[in-house]
Amino acid sequence: MTTLRHDWEKAEIAALFDLPFNDLLYRAHSLHREHFDPNQVQVSTLLSIKTGACPEDCAYCSQSARNKAEIERERLLPLDEVLEKARLAKDNGAHRFCMGAAWRNPTDKNLDKVIDMIRGVKELGLEACVTLGMLTEAQTERLKQAGLDYYNHNLDTSPEYYGDIITTRTYEDRLQTLEHVREAGINVCSGGILGMGENREDRVSLLQQLANLPKHPESVPINMLVQIEGTPLHGVDKLEPLEFVRTIAVARILMPRSVVRLSAGRTEMSDEEQALCFFAGANSIFYGEKLLTTDNPDENHDQQLFDKLGINQQNPVSENALA
């Protein structure tokens, strides 16, 4: 049985990245098979419940009020519209319904409305996940009492590169919110974004931060930057596809019992690249028309790919997940 580690050194992680590609994938896939059915992929749907006018300055984000991306700003969606989208997601095979709001942090009044959404989603038989920005301890307790299953709060990139991407909240702010979520007993969903101009050392450092948390995130989304005109990162050099696959494989090795999710950027990935990612240890995707404000492969294309690969839409649970 694999022993979980929380003391990875950067040199060890860099050495994994440097392995011959076939050796790296063999090691990652072997661990993946040890803990998961390699032919099961968990499917989630993400809905933007409040779009635009965010005060943060994240260089990748179209929803930042400081960026010049053309985006239609929307108020918080009404409860009935959110639940209609959740029903449709369930009908299309989703296991988890994720709701994202473009806030720095939610007010208690707004949290009241989100809690009603969480309860409604749970009543439909779906897992509920939200991403709302920074949280206080009291707010995380309220979310836990409402039955929230997962809270998403990405680290985005390495501590060393973080200041080049975001200046309106610190890395420590993000880690503190993750600590509040963990202490409240809510599952943690935390990962990062690749292709933002970072180097391999930054990818090493990001994965070190995630793997050395006191408990590994239950869900680790790995996003490929979707370049949006009007954002500072539009036009940045794109990440080489095999480097993305390497990052998935290293994430699987470092966090063998976590669900690793292919998130944003799948519209620009070939079927072959996605298949390599699944082999390397990815076992979760977002599907549906949109990921917050960017395009995402539709359900029909995903199902066609799953059929080609013999993948089942299941909710993969590591046999050691509770250990």
Rounded distance between C-alpha atoms, residue 314 and residue 43, angstroms: 7
Rounded distance between C-alpha atoms, residue 202 and residue 199, angstroms: 5
Tokens representing 149? Answer: 């299953």
For residue 149, the one-letter residue type is D
The answer to whether 2 and 34 are in contact (CB under 8 A) is: yes
Phi, psi of 175 (to 5 degrees): -65, -35
Other Cβ atoms within 10 Å of 1 Cβ, number:
8
Phi, psi of 307 (to 5 degrees): -65, -40
Rounded distance between C-alpha atoms, residue 182 and residue 164, angstroms: 28
What is the Cα Rg of the chain in Å?
18
User: What 3-state DSSP class applies to 201?
Assistant: helix
Rounded distance between C-alpha atoms, residue 36 and residue 115, angstroms: 32
First to last CA, the chain: 11
For residue 154, the one-letter residue type is N
Catalytic residues: 54, 58, 61, 98, 129, 189, 261
Rounded distance between C-alpha atoms, residue 87 and residue 71, angstroms: 26
Rounded distance between C-alpha atoms, residue 269 and residue 264, angstroms: 10
Rounded distance between C-alpha atoms, residue 193 and residue 264, angstroms: 8
The answer to whether 293 and 71 are in contact (CB under 8 A) is: yes
